[in-house]
Chain A
Amino acid sequence: MGAVGAMQRLRRATVSSREGTTGTPPKSQRTWTSLSLFLLLALLSVGAVRDADPAATEPSQSDVEAVYLFDFGKFVRWPDNAASGPMEICVAGPQTFAAGVQSLVANERVNGRALAVRRVQRIEDEAGCSILFIDSSEKDRAAALLAAVADKPTLTVSDLPDFLDHGGMIQFLLISKRVRFAVNLQPVIKSNLSLSSELLKVAVSVKGQPEGGVQ
């Protein structure tokens, strides 16, 4: 419950932008007050010391994204040949983010599959990835990575702007200090993946829908 509770709180939380580009400062001041009050209450009510890691006390956009990355796995169906063995979540980005995801998924299973997290440092490392996250810091390698996983059953996720336009599947957005996401179905269909309608329901936007609607 403790880890789940932490994730729940992360999901609920408005987040601080890593770039600090969005949002208006005066509003954020008030939001911060209520956030810290909420966190204080949450800490008191749960009383668990291990929840007191920096990510929980001050959830950042990347913290929430780490949780969502893991959650996406629950709403995606991989083709049968890629649905066995541990589900690998690959991170092309900073080590801290990869470690954050690792700590979240440590003892979790999704659809009966164990989870594994590894960093993608070279392009070739993408092989066998179920989910590939491309951090905005990897902007230069993004196109190459996308090209490498094209047609492979790999869900591509990134917080890069224009990610979908470049053939990405899910792109994180920050709207009203909440982490949201948009979906491009075209590469999803090409990769033989299928996304749950539940997931599409909560997407900010869905593009590339085939004729006749979403399956």
Chain B
Amino acid sequence: MKLFAGSRTISGRLTRMNLLVSGTVLLLAALAFFSYDLISFRESLVSSLASAAQIIGENSVSALTFDDPISAEATLEGLRRSPDVVSAELVTEDGQVFAEYHAPGEEYVASGRRLRDDEMEHDWITGRRLLLGRRVMFQGKSVGVVYITATLSEIGQRARHYLLITVVILLFCMVAALLISSASQRLVAQPIVLLAATARSVSREKDYSVRAGPPGGSAEMADLTGAFNDMLQQIELQDGALSRARDELEVRVHERTAELQAANRELEAFSYTVAHDLRGPLDSIGGIAFILAHAEQGSQEERRELLDRLQVSTHNMAALIDDLLNFSRASTVALKKDEVDLSVMAREIAEELRSPEPERDVEFQIAELPPVQADAGLMRIVMDNLLRNAWKYTSHHKKACIEIGAKLQNGRMVYFVRDDGAGFDPQLADQVFQPFHRLHSKSEFAGTGVGLATVQRILERHGGAIWAEGQMEKGATFYFTM
């Protein structure tokens, strides 16, 4: 057994198990057989001794009756044919030894035991001896007792035989277990070894499309291989998903980079435009200042006109800078949400517009709007821009109408500012909200081109959106949501 004690391979363990099981079974079986044999041997010995005792008894009746120990001893001599019998004695009714016998080479040993008066036959085992006593009956009466002592050395002999046979069979079992284990190597260990090889190759080559071959072994091996293949499939799927995600990420990075580059270009364009637009009034201011400095003899009227133009230019520049500041603030200032009533705000702005130009005939239709949760300051900028736009683009018409309202559309509130002014080319509707994009010439309608861009940014920051509809000379409508 020690041979396989350190074995770590399955086949080795199987061998050890086989050997252990067969050895245990064999030992138990040998023990059972030996016990059975022991019992039956004892029984047969007892019965053969009993029949010998009976024959001796029957042949000793006259010797006992007529006090003839010599005849009795002659009868006892017949036991010489039984090799197991060591000694025997014939005892009279009053317990005296009448005749005795001992096998050649054996010393006579007194039995030392006596039958009880009511016993016909009894046997005792003392050490390695079996003693049997049997009453001699004659004419219905007991005339004496025969005691025969037999050696049990044959039991020891049998035990040695059993031991020898067991050892031989155990050796045979060892050989058989080795043979069986080499067979089980093919049946059990081989599929496992193959599976292990597959697992190693997968982990080495990172090739998850490999599958373990159909197992030739047990149902458990089939389960194991199936589970292994399932695992490989899952790894393969996840590996594919991972590489797809990586590819997508790369595409997305490319897109983002492109977008960033576009935004950068836009920013450059924006800066350029800002610089250009600021440059315009600055050039104008510089030119007027130069004229004023060198035209000393100019009339008072001319000077007044130049100063007015100077004032307009600085005003334009200040307005542009204000708009840019608003635009910037719209992006960066922290939102402070309150309940804001857009109707009230619209009416205030209408009043502000109307007061410098009381001669214009513009009708404001301001509906009662539901209050919104928004930053009041920013919403003021939104409404101001939208109403000022409407006011500005209706200035060419003698009579105009500006409508401010709201309607429920697809489950959300859509606010709108509508005018019947200059309108715009519907194909250019998208460009309305780009900074510095102007759909009308500066001479036609004054403005910086930043207002609607600011409005869009504020509404987006509130999670809303803005879009425009319009036709040339048929007015424009600006819709927005919060």
Chain A residues close to B by CB (< 8 Å): 1, 4-5, 8-9, 11-12, 42, 45-46, 68, 71, 74-75, 109-111, 178-181, 196, 198-199, 201-202
Contact = CB atoms under 8 A, between A and B. Distances in A.
Interface of B: 59, 61-68, 71, 92-94, 96, 138-139, 141
Contact of B93 (A8, A74, A75, A201): A8
A180 B65 CA distance: 11
Contact of A178 (B63, B67, B71, B141): B67
A74 B94 contact: no
B390 to A, nearest CB: 153
A214 B335 CA distance: 149
Given A196-B62, A198-B59, A199-B62, A74 B67 contact: no
Contact of B92 (A8, A111, A198, A201): A8
A25 B62 CA distance: 31
Given A198-B62, A202-B62, A42 B68 contact: no
19 contacts: A4-B141, A5-B93, A5-B94, A8-B94, A9-B94, A11-B65, A11-B67, A68-B66, A71-B65, A74-B65, A75-B62, A178-B67, A181-B66, A198-B62, A199-B66, A202-B62, A202-B63, A202-B68, A202-B71
A110 B92 CA distance: 20
A12 B59 CA distance: 18
A4 B139 CA distance: 12
Contact of B63 (A1, A42, A201): A201
Contacts of B64: 11
B71 A12 contact: no
B96 to A, nearest CB: 7
Contacts of B61: 198
Nearest to A202: B68
**B-side binding surface: helix, strand, loop or mixed?**
mixed
A201 B64 CA distance: 12
Contact of B71 (A45, A196, A201): A201
Contact of B138 (A5, A42, A74): A74
A201 B62 contact: yes
A111 B68 CA distance: 23
A110 B141 contact: no
Nearest to B140: A109
Given A74-B138, A74-B139, A202-B71, A12 B96 contact: yes
Nearest to B65: A71
Contacts of B66: 11, 68, 71, 180-181, 199, 202
Nearest to B60: A198
Contacts of B65: 11, 71, 74-75, 202
Contacts of A111: 139
The 3 closest A-B pairs by CB, nearest first: A198-B62, A202-B68, A11-B67
Given A179-B67, A202-B62, 14 more contacts: A1-B93, A4-B93, A8-B94, A11-B66, A46-B94, A74-B65, A109-B139, A111-B139, A178-B67, A196-B62, A199-B62, A201-B62, A202-B65, A202-B66
A62 to B, nearest CB: 16
A109 B138 CA distance: 12
B55 to A, nearest CB: 13
A9 B92 CA distance: 10
B139 A42 contact: no
A179 B96 CA distance: 19
Most central of A42, A46, A74, A178 by chain B CB within 10 Å: A74
Most central of A45, A75, A202 by chain B CB within 10 Å: A202
B470 to A, nearest CB: 151
Nearest to B92: A8
Contacts of A109: 139
Most central of B63, B64, B94, B141 by chain A CB within 10 Å: B94
A12 B93 CA distance: 11
A178 B65 CA distance: 13
Contacts of A198: 59, 61-62
A109 to B, nearest CB: 8
Most central of A68, A180, A201 by chain B CB within 10 Å: A201
A182 to B, nearest CB: 12
A38 B11 CA distance: 82
A178 B70 CA distance: 13
A42 B96 CA distance: 11
A198 B66 CA distance: 10
A148 B423 CA distance: 185
Nearest to B68: A202
A127 B59 CA distance: 34
A202 B64 CA distance: 10
A132 B61 CA distance: 23
A200 to B, nearest CB: 9
A86 to B, nearest CB: 16
Given A4-B141, A74-B138, A202-B71, A12 B63 contact: no
A11 B69 CA distance: 12
